Amino acid sequence: MAQEKTLHDLFTETLKDIYYAEKQILRALPKMAKSAQSEQLKMAFRTHQEQTEGQIERLEQVFEMLGKAPRGKHCPAIVGIIDEGKEIMEDFAGTDALDPGLLAGAQAVEHYEIARYGTLKTWAAQLGLTDAVPLLEATLKEEKETDALLTRLAGADVNRKAA
Ligand code: FE
Ligand code: FE
Ligand code: FE
């Protein structure tokens, strides 16, 4: 008989997925800040870089609650999203379309994270991991706020300049 996997296993695997993703994002954000032309966009990336460090620590706390050492698991989705961003940075370097491209890539990243943290929070509650819920909720809030900030910037100067 095949060994039965549980929602708890799925939670742990998804936690590893987002842990890996956050580490990749932490590496990408300084490059995005450096590449951005608008000061507001640079600042948004730098602020989110600091938040991301805290988000990684929160995930490490959740691993600890599970009695597991923090471990990442290759996430092809985030690698793909980040690769698309790199391509835009290269192909649109020095053009007015660079910042809109960076914004679009960053929003794709945030949307992936929002999906993951929303799911993890729901599963943590269902699994009775009540101490993990507020940690996942705190990060989910930061990702949503970042997405909202990027939406505001996309509608403001950053994109108007490119028009
Ligand atoms: Fe994050
Ligand atoms: Fe993934
Ligand atoms: Fe984020």
Report CA(2)–ligand 1 centroid distance (Å): 35
Report CA(146)–ligand 3 centroid distance (Å): 7
Residue range(s) defining the domain that contains residue 32? 7-162
**Considering the domain boundaries, does residue 131 fall inside one?**
yes
Count of the separate structural domains present in the chain: 1
Residues in the chain: 163
What are the tokens at 99? 């910042």
Report CA(108)–ligand 3 centroid distance (Å): 10
Render pLDDT for 95-124 as a digit per residue (tens, 0 to 9): 999 999 999 999 999 999 999 999 999 999
**Considering the domain boundaries, does residue 2 fall inside one?**
no
DSSP per residue over 41-87, as a string? HHHHHHHHHHHHHHHHHHHHHHHHHTT--------HHHHHHHHHHHH
Render pLDDT for 38-69 as a digit per residue (tens, 0 to 9): 999 999 999 999 999 999 999 999 999 999 99
Report CA(75)–ligand 2 centroid distance (Å): 4
Which 3 state secondary structure label does DSSP give 127? coil
**Considering the domain boundaries, does residue 126 fall inside one?**
yes
Report CA(116)–ligand 2 centroid distance (Å): 8
The mean pLDDT value of the chain amounts to 95
Report CA(152)–ligand 2 centroid distance (Å): 27
**Considering the domain boundaries, does residue 1 fall inside one?**
no
CATH number at residue 141: 1.20.1260.10
**Considering the domain boundaries, does residue 119 fall inside one?**
yes
Report CA(10)–ligand 3 centroid distance (Å): 22
Render pLDDT for 119-140 as a digit per residue (tens, 0 to 9): 999 999 999 999 999 999 999 9
Report CA(144)–ligand 3 centroid distance (Å): 8
**Considering the domain boundaries, does residue 73 fall inside one?**
yes
